[in-house]
Amino acid sequence: MTTILLILLVITVFLASMHLWTRKLTREGTEKVPQPGEVVSVRGGSIHYVEKGDPANPTLIMIHGLAGQLQHYTYALMDRLTDDFHVIAVDRPGSGYSTRDTADLARLPEQARMIMEFLDKKGVSDPVLVGHSMGGAVSLAMALDYPDKVAGLALLAPLTHEMPSTPPVFKPLEIRAEWLRTLIGNTVAVPVAAKTAPKTIGAVFDPEPAPADFLDRAGGALGLRPSAFISASQDVIGVDASIGAQSQRYGELNLPGGVLFGAGDVILSPAAHGAPMIQFGFSYEQLEGMGHMIPITAPDTCAAFIRGISDRARIKA
């Protein structure tokens, strides 16, 4: 019995020390990346956003990917479009400084609903959605469920179909029990993430080099919070549960759309997630030598691509 109690004591002390370390890293992360925008409440949570450009211009809504935040767009891409567009970059529900109340809201239709409720409250109509990675899947969900409210889809390295397995860099997020992801998120996840950040960031940007200022200017430090780990884990499970049924509906899409991929993307396969969208009327382009993080590494090309989709949307309108 004494041995068992000793083991339990050691485990308790270890978890307590990890929790304190987590709280320290969380404070440092929010100090490094303070909240830059405003927050609007929606059913099930809230949406944090940054808005630039003349509201009289056509609107672009920028939706980031898994374990990301709106700074993936404000890093370089957003300002390249604000002269001609009204641009709103959002933190997806549960990401960045947005919130969501329950794990089931990680499913694609629920994330789509929450962002659309935000747009309705803002009085935004007929935007072109710019979705990167998992943000592409959310953008597709919005176009499917609210076809009269979306003018076009400009998808950057999007998740569009079921995957045989979670990409290795995101495999630690594949936790199905809420109690376990909460325990891990509040103890060991953040310290481990802090230690492995250079390797993880490098894997996401591969084959391109990651920018040295990713943790602050691109908001990466916001990932060093329990809420970021817990929400990202919920996203992995929620998307896995809903992307299959969603992909069966792509034949319903009837709007201008296009896909831009880095040919060297090691996170999402261009052949599996880009090329298949051609059959649904989407344009498809690849960037040689580029990887998954093209909104940051190829902002000029992404901006030109988005302008092209917007032009097609205005012609159709």
Q: What is the pLDDT of residues 57-87, one digit of tens each?
A: 999 999 999 999 999 999 999 999 999 999 9
Burial of 3 (0-12, 13-18, 19+ CB in 10 A): exposed
Count CB neighbours of 220 within 10 A: 26
Q: Which domains does the chain have, with CATH numbers?
A: 20-316 (3.40.50.1820)
- Token readout for 304 is 């030109």
The percentage of residues in the chain with a pLDDT greater than 70, rounded to a whole number, is 97
Q: What share of the chain is helix, strand, coil (3-state, %, to 5)?
A: 55, 15, 30
CA 270 distance to own-chain centroid: 18
pLDDT in tens, 213-266: 999 999 999 998 999 999 999 999 999 999 999 999 999 999 999 999 999 999
* pLDDT at residue 309 tops 70: yes
Using omega within 30 degrees of 0 as the cis cutoff, is the peptide bond preceding 93 cis?
no
pLDDT in tens, 3-58: 877 767 666 777 677 777 778 878 887 898 999 999 999 999 999 999 999 999 99
Give the residue from 110, 117, 63 showing the smallest Cα distance to 87.
Answer: 63
pLDDT in tens, 267-287: 999 999 999 999 999 999 999
- d(CA 270, CA 7) in angstroms, rounded, equals 49
Angle, helices 134-145/108-122, rounded to nearest 10 degrees: 70
Parallel, antiparallel, or unpaired: how do β-strands 59-63 and 86-90 relate?
parallel
Work out the mean pLDDT of the chain and round it to a whole number: 94
